[in-house]
Amino acid sequence: MIDSKPVIAANWKMYKTPQEGYQFARQLATKALNLKGVKFILAPSATAIFHLAEVLKDTPIEMAGQNMHFAEEGAFTGETSASMLQASGCTWVIIGHSERRHVFGESDDFIRQKVAAALQAGLNVIMCIGERLEDREAHRTQGVLQQQLRDGLEGLDEYPAERLVIAYEPVWAIGTGVVASPQQAGDAHGQVRAILNQRFPGLADADVKILYGGSVKSANAAELISTPGIDGFLIGGASLDVNEYCSIAEIAQNEVQVTN
Ligand code: PGA
């Protein structure tokens, strides 16, 4: 990341038409004027990216793809390349979201190829990792995080750390309303940092931000963002409402100012 502001990233998943997104983006652009202490990243569906990027082009709000293919172009029906995302206005891409892993069966190796292609093309990457409930209950959380980081980032630590953000999203907390406790999230973030330190010394310094994702909302944002090791949020459901999304941003802005 360019600076130390908390990242408040919105993952809209398969919600909002370009028209619905337009209303949101107009309001966000205005509200963001009072929220300069956070970094906004907006990941709409692919059909809305170009339109919203035009709306937000004179603002500090950056656009992200929710997914991409590692090939530059080719016969890959339904896929989007890094250069297509960039030409549509994206500077970021989310890779390895748990829905891509568990609904669409993406492997760590496939994810690594995408992370590599995105970084190579000049996109910044939010790479998602996280354990399922059965992993947590079997005390395998650390092992899962280790494997996802190791396999997803293998050979990529020559890239500058600020080009990469890790989003820790426990699968059991995504879209369920069950949020990780500050203790659980803080422990996992500490483990992620330790794994990066050990396996990827090139990425090890504090420039790699680690976001928390999974049922974040304004009611739980303060205690999470004030937990050491949590550098921002990747927000699904609560990012669909511009007021709720900006409330979370405001809480993060205030808490980080207070703790600095
Ligand atoms: P949620 O989703 O905030 O709706 O739990 C988070 C995510 O999937 O990134």
Mention every residue, 6+ apart, whose C-beta is less than 8 A from residue 70.
Answer: 110, 113, 114, 116, 117, 118
What CATH number belongs to 7-259? Answer: 3.20.20.70
> Which residue pairs, CB below 8 angstroms and at least 24 apart, start in 189-192?
189/227, 189/229, 189/230, 190/229, 191/141, 191/142, 191/145, 191/146, 192/129, 192/145, 192/149, 192/166, 192/168
Closest among 83, 43, 82 to 64, alpha carbons compared: 43
Reported pTM: 0.96
The residue whose CA has the least distance to atom 1 of ligand 1 is 236
The residue whose CA has the least distance to atom 3 of ligand 1 is 236
Structure confidence at residue 203 (pLDDT): 66
Structure confidence at residue 157 (pLDDT): 79
Structure confidence at residue 198 (pLDDT): 83
- In this structure, the residues whose C-beta lies within 6 A of any atom of ligand 1 are 11, 169, 174-175, 213-216, 234-238
Q: Which atom of ligand 1 is nearest to the CA of 235?
A: 3
Tens place of pLDDT per residue across the chain (260 aa): 446 899 999 999 999 999 999 999 999 999 999 999 999 999 999 999 999 999 999 999 999 999 999 999 999 999 999 999 999 999 999 999 999 999 999 999 999 999 999 999 999 999 999 999 999 999 999 999 999 999 999 988 788 888 999 999 999 999 999 999 999 999 999 999 999 888 777 665 557 899 999 999 999 999 999 999 999 999 999 999 999 999 999 999 999 876 65
The residue whose CA has the least distance to atom 6 of ligand 1 is 236
| Residue among 94, 174, 239 whose CB has most ligand 1 atoms within 8 A, to mutate | 174
Structure confidence at residue 225 (pLDDT): 97
